[in-house]
Amino acid sequence: MTSHSVSAAASGTWLLGDLKVNRIGFGAMRLTGSAAFHQGTPSNRDQSITVLRRAVELGVNHIDTAAFYFSRLRSANELINSALAPYSDDLVIATKVGPARDASGEWADAARPDQLRGQVEENLRQLGRDYLDVVNLRIMGQDDISEHFGALAKLRAAGLVRHLGISSARPEHLAQAQAIAPVVCVQNRYGIDMPGGDEMLRACAAHGIAFVPFFAIAGKGREAGAVQAEHDEVRAIADAHGVSPAQVRLAWILQQGAHVLAIPGTGNPAHLVANVATGTLRLTDGELQLLDSIGRSDP
């Protein structure tokens, strides 16, 4: 398949509230450098902007970002603004609030409910928007998120936010949030070798809510990227299809349900094309079962 024929539309679509997105989107975290946040080598600014513009050309219309995605020299939101503003009407930008970092990049205490408006406004300033399409509350260890989510619901009512979601959530968090305002998505860590996420996957399906896994390609490498040795099963399936292990991981994610959205991130233009092309990769039932066994067998 040539890059000219690759389109995110091949992955199918889903509604985030009233916003239609292609199921393969783009995660902006890795645009800030070679490792997460303030560590590692700063990214090449021109290449990052090229990747963002190319993503939109390939039909990506769902971009995941956050104001706390920044490194010593790069800000994901600023890169998005520089690359894509003025934004097309069909582009959906989802951001997150909750975690806090100081100007030097060190993590601070999680935001209090009364500080969430400031975080929302920071995202608005950096992105150059009058409102945010989707804001996810990144849960930072709280058992009860009612006060935090209630603060975001007030911002939604005020018109600063269009739709709300939650991240790093348990089923009880979803119930707490839904009692306050509609939830359009749940972002959780999930992948073939990250067992334990199926309950939320099913809960989202039952409620018609998008399930948006992160670290789907990185797996246990998390923010540092896919640094671990790949499973033999993944490599064998990749070889059988003539694709990369990363594409197998993405295909598995997309085949977990029509409500599942992928947000793979990369600063590499070739990897971007490969990620988007995964929308046409179909794994067999036998291959899916083999990949499922990885998660069940890992501790």
* 65-98 confidence digits (pLDDT tens): 999 999 888 999 999 999 999 999 999 999 999 9
Whether 187 is covered by a domain: the verdict is: yes
Whether 91 is covered by a domain: the verdict is: yes
The domain in which residue 118 lies consists of 21-230+260-267
Model confidence at 39, in pLDDT bands (50, 70, 90)? low
CA distances from residue 199 to 113, 185, 195, 196, 266 in whole angstroms, order as listed: 27, 15, 10, 7, 28
The pLDDT, as a whole number, for residue 224 is 46
82 phi, psi to nearest 5 deg: -65, -40
The tokens describing 76, both together, are 């994901």
Cα 239 from Cα 234, distance rounded (Å) = 9
pLDDT of 299 higher than 60 = no
Q: pTM value?
A: 0.93
Whether 217 is covered by a domain: the verdict is: yes
Whether 16 is covered by a domain: the verdict is: no
Mean pLDDT, the chain, rounded, equals 91
The pLDDT, as a whole number, for residue 229 is 76
The pLDDT, as a whole number, for residue 223 is 47
76 within 8 A of 29, measured Cβ to Cβ = yes
Peptide bond connecting 86 to the previous residue in cis, omega within 30 degrees of 0: yes
Q: What is the pLDDT of residues 212-260, one digit of tens each?
A: 998 788 655 444 445 467 899 999 999 999 999 999 999 999 999 999 9
Among 69, 87, 131, 190, the one annotated catalytic:
69
Helices (H), 58-191: 76-84, 116-127, 146-157, 171-178
Q: Identify the H or E element spanning 93.
A: strand 92-97
Q: What is the pLDDT of residues 138-176, one digit of tens each?
A: 999 999 999 999 999 999 999 999 999 999 999 999 999
Whether 288 is covered by a domain: the verdict is: no
Look up the CATH number of the domain holding residue 154.
Answer: 3.20.20.100
The tokens describing 135, both together, are 């804001």
Q: Domain count of the chain? A: 1
Whether 78 is covered by a domain: the verdict is: yes
118 within 8 A of 100, measured Cβ to Cβ = no
Residue closest to 190 by CA, chosen among 241, 134, 264, 286: 264
Residue length of the chain: 299
pLDDT of 297 higher than 80 = no
Cα 152 from Cα 181, distance rounded (Å) = 9
Whether 1 is covered by a domain: the verdict is: no
Active site residue 69: yes
The tokens describing 201, both together, are 């996957």
Whether 145 is covered by a domain: the verdict is: yes
Encode 164-191: b = buried (16+ Cβ within 10 Å), e = exposed. bbbbbbbeebbebbeebbebbbbbbbbb
With a pLDDT cut of 90, the percent of the chain lying above it is 80
Encode 237-255: b = buried (16+ Cβ within 10 Å), e = exposed. bbeeeebbbbbbbbbbbbb
pLDDT of 182 higher than 90 = yes
213 within 8 A of 253, measured Cβ to Cβ = yes
Least confident of 27-36, 45-54, 107-116: 27-36
